[in-house]
Amino acid sequence: MSFESIYAFATSLGCKAEFDVPMCDYTTFKIGGKARLMITPSTDESLSEVVRKCKSEGVKPMIIGNGSNMLISDKGLNTVVINMCRPDAGIRYLGDGFIECDAGVNLVKVCNFALEKELTGLEFAFGIPGSAGGAAYMNAGAYDGEMKDVLVSCTHIDDEGNFGKLEGDELQLSYRTSAYEHNGYIITKLLLKLRPGDKTAIKEKMQDLLGRRKDKQPLEYPSAGSTFKRPAGYFAAALIDECGLKGVSVGGAQVSEKHAGFIINKGGATSEDVMKLIRLVQETVLREKGVVIEPEVRLIEKI
């Protein structure tokens, strides 16, 4: 494989490309070693060409959006990281409640765009710190809403560099997963269907949900959001709290004293600190409650 060749090819297409990029600067956990090469595509077409080039060089690229649901190893990533959050990522209103947005757009911006168009249905997502593509990838949700409720289709690029689309049931949206988690394709655009609503009521609901997040979640510390998936019939945070694990630390990583479902970076946490704490929480909950809890955060070891 030749990272230099991929770099030269990407820059020739007008893409931004950098070697040895600290991933701690690109994740909400503020944790992660250096990526061998990071490419920010200039267009979807250039992304397609970069994917083809990576394949020809035997490189499997890793895709990031806002870096809000991942823990990256401090050992770094010996691969090409494709950053979907390009500066010109945009949102477009197509009429009749349909919004199209690029995958790299911040989800909060999409919520504000819907507010300005007086469209309801996406309020649940206000405050989720991810990109639109990441939200579709994991069927993000909160407060009795999820992307499944509003997502119509996704345009993507497959591992051969070809464009395609999944819509409706093809998306396989279920609790914190989608078809894209299994097929490995790169989401480039989303089509959402919302409903006409009252602007004042939409704004009030958005602010109410944001206020609840601030009251209940440790937003003042770096984290990857909810660390664990909700086990069937239980709430992960309640189980962790009942086991007396609030405030338990490993190095710079801590089970939040504010919300037991969050592991936070109190300062200087390493990926190994977080991994050890995740395992400690899992083992304790299994031993004391007989319940298996699985990480919701994507654990990305050295590639």
- Looking at the annotation, which residues are catalytic? 176, 226, 296
Sheet of 253-255: strand order equals 249-250, 253-255, 263-265
The confidence score (pLDDT) of residue 303 equals 56
Instruction: Give the residue extent of every domain in the chain.
Output: 3-83, 91-216, 236-300
- pLDDT tens sequence across 22-79: 999 999 999 999 999 999 999 999 999 999 999 999 999 999 999 999 999 999 999 9
- 91-216: CATH architecture: 2-Layer Sandwich (3.30)
> CB count, 10 Å around CB of 208?
13
Nearest alpha-carbon partner for 80 in 43, 129, 47: 47
**25 has which bridge partners?**
none
* Fold agreement (91-216, 236-300): no
Q: What is the mean pLDDT of the chain?
A: 96
Under CATH, what is the fold of the domain 3-83?
Answer: 3.30.43
- pLDDT tens sequence across 195-206: 999 999 999 999
Region 88-95: mean pLDDT is 96
- 236-300: CATH architecture: Alpha-Beta Complex (3.90)
Residue at 247: amino acid letter: G
How far is residue 292's CA from residue 82's CA, in Å, rounded to a whole number? 33
Q: Is 217's pLDDT higher than 60?
A: yes
Record the pTM: 0.93
Instruction: List Cβ neighbours of 270 (8 Å cut-off, separation of 6 or more).
Output: 31, 74, 251, 252, 253
Are 148 and 173 in contact, with CB atoms under 8 Å apart? Answer: yes
How far is residue 141's CA from residue 288's CA, in Å, rounded to a whole number? 29
- pLDDT tens sequence across 162-202: 999 999 999 999 988 999 999 999 999 999 999 999 999 99
